Amino acid sequence: MADCSRADATALWSGSAESNPPDTRGSRFRNNRIAACFPPTNADPSAPVTFPGLYKYTTSKTHTLSGSGAPKLATIKFFAWLLVLGKLNCRSYRYRRNICTVDESYCALCPSVEETDNHIFFECALARNTWECIGVDPDGGSCRHPWLMGRELPLPSSVQYDAILLVFWQLWKARNAMIFNQEQRSPRRVLRHVVEDMDNWISRYKHHSDHWSAWIDYFTASV
């Protein structure tokens, strides 16, 4: 069972570990059922946090989205959890666990470059070009703080983390498509899939539909 500090875990769902976090009042990733996995608010902030009910919650079939092809909210939450904790099943992670050889730990697109999570999402040519398409600088990006990406964009901050997390999700899916199907996706195709996901999720943002639509329009114009 994975552990992390209560402060780190809270930051994952609240949006930022900084003293001035972004406005995430419209975020669908803030959920009281997730908060139930944490210790009481008066607990030691440095105490380890276990997630006894998180896997069951995030794989629940009751948390599905309408619309064919729309990812489950729970699936994205679980992906974000693994991303921030450094537990994604990338090739470098598998190598460190002695599951594959060093020759099998390289990026499928970048020969002789170790496939770490930071490489997948920030250093690989596909990732860099995808971020640059939407005007985000990938240099200095961190998988431990994905909510910091895209904060410089002139778009509503209330749904920024949700929109940016879907970019991470589609970069991960593009990586899987290359490894398992030998299908190489372009940055524009990655963004088209992001827009499709966002269109399928628009009903979840009834009180922030204008904000969500602004991000959709921005990504669409970048394709």
Q: What is the pLDDT of residue 73?
A: 82
Whether residue 67 is predicted with pLDDT greater than 90 in this model: the reply is no
Strand partners, 106: 114
Please write down the long-range contacts of 213-220, taking CB distance under 8 Å and 24 or more positions apart: 214/155, 214/156, 215/155, 215/156, 215/159, 215/160, 215/163, 218/134, 218/153, 218/155, 219/134, 219/163, 219/191, 219/194, 219/195, 220/195
Q: What is the pLDDT of residue 71?
A: 79
- Each residue of 148-179: pLDDT tens digit? 999 999 999 999 999 999 999 999 999 999 99
Q: What is the pLDDT of residue 74?
A: 86
